[in-house]
Amino acid sequence: MATRTCVKLLILLLLPGYLAAQDSSGSHSPAKGESDIGLRYKENISLEWEECIGLYRRMADSSDRARLIEIGYSDAGKPLHLFIISADGCFEPEDLRESGKNILFINNGIHPGESCGIDASVKLAYGLLSGRDEYAEFLSRTTILILPVFNIGGALKRSPYHRANQNGPREHGFRGNARNLDLNRDFMKMDAANTRALVPLLRKWDPDVFIDTHTSNGADYPYTITLINSHEQRHESASAHFLRQEMLPFLYAAMTKTPYEMSPYVWSIKTTPEDGLIGFMDYPRYTSGYTSMFNCLSLTVETHMFKPYPDRVLSTWHLLRESLHFMATHSDELKAQKAKAWKQKRRRRQFVLEWKPDTLRCDSLLFKGYAARYRKSKLTGHQRLYYDRSEPWEKKIPYYRYYIPTISCSLPEAYLIPPAWPEVIERLRLNGVEMQPLDRDTILRAEYYYIEDFHTASPSYNGHYPHSSTRVRKESGPVECMAGSILVPTKQKAVEYIVQALEPQAHDSFFNWNFFDEILYRNEYFSPYIFEETAEALLREDPRLNAAFRKKKAEDAAFAADPYSQLRFIYESSPWSEDSYMRYPVIRIPAR
Ligand SMILES: [Zn+2]
pLDDT digits (tens, 9 = 90+) for 451-492: 999 999 999 999 999 999 999 999 999 999 999 999 999 999
The better pLDDT of the pair 33, 205 is held by: 205
How remote is the CA of residue 164 from the centroid of ligand 1, in Å? 14
Residues 6+ apart with CB under 8 A from 23: 29
pLDDT, average across residues 155-173: 92
Q: pLDDT category, 33, cuts 50, 70, 90? A: confident
365 pLDDT higher than 90: yes
Q: pLDDT category, 34, cuts 50, 70, 90? A: confident
How remote is the CA of residue 515 from the centroid of ligand 1, in Å? 26
pLDDT, average across residues 386-400: 97
Question: What secondary structure does DSSP assign to 318-354, as a single string?
Answer: HHHHHHHHHHHHTHHHHHHHHHHHHHHHHH--EEEEE
How remote is the CA of residue 298 from the centroid of ligand 1, in Å? 15
What's residue 20's pLDDT? 55
4 pLDDT higher than 90: no
What's residue 472's pLDDT? 98
Q: What are the angstrom distances between the C-alpha of 363 and each of 230, 244, 302, 539, 556?
A: 17, 13, 21, 60, 49
What's residue 2's pLDDT? 42
Report the C-alpha gap between 539 and 190 in whole angstroms. 48
- The neighbour count for residue 180, using CB atoms within 10 Å, is 13
Q: How many CA atoms lie within 13 A of 365 on its CB side?
A: 24
Question: What secondary structure does DSSP assign to 52-103, as a single string?
Answer: HHHHHHHHHHH-TTEEEEEEEE-TTSSEEEEEEE-TTS---HHHHHHTT-EE
Report the C-alpha gap between 457 and 350 in whole angstroms. 28
Q: pLDDT category, 525, cuts 50, 70, 90? A: confident
Amino acid at site 17: G
**430 conformational bin, left if phi > 0, alpha if psi -120 to 50, beta if neither:** alpha
Largest CA distance in the chain: 105
How remote is the CA of residue 289 from the centroid of ligand 1, in Å? 14
How remote is the CA of residue 112 from the centroid of ligand 1, in Å? 8
Long-range contacts of the stretch 464-471 (C-beta < 8 A, 24+): 464/189, 464/513, 464/514, 465/514, 466/512, 466/513, 466/514, 467/511, 467/512, 467/514, 468/507, 468/512, 470/504, 470/505, 470/509, 470/511, 470/512, 471/505
pLDDT, average across residues 424-452: 98
What's residue 218's pLDDT? 84
What's residue 31's pLDDT? 55
Mean confidence (pLDDT) of the chain: 93
- Tens of pLDDT, residue by residue over 254-299, are 999 999 999 999 999 999 999 999 999 999 999 999 999 999 999 9
- Tens of pLDDT, residue by residue over 63-120, are 999 999 999 999 999 999 999 999 999 999 999 999 999 999 999 999 999 999 999 9
- Tens of pLDDT, residue by residue over 220-258, are 999 999 999 999 999 999 999 999 999 999 999 999 999
Task: Decide if 200 contacts 288 (C-beta within 8 A).
Answer: no
How remote is the CA of residue 216 from the centroid of ligand 1, in Å? 6
Pick from 86, 66, 50, 88: nearest CA to 18: 66
| Rg of the chain taking only CA atoms, in angstroms | 28
Residues around ligand 1, an ion, CB closer than 5 A: 111, 114, 214
Sign (positive or negative) of CA dihedral 354, 360, 364, 370: positive
How remote is the CA of residue 131 from the centroid of ligand 1, in Å? 31
How remote is the CA of residue 512 from the centroid of ligand 1, in Å? 23
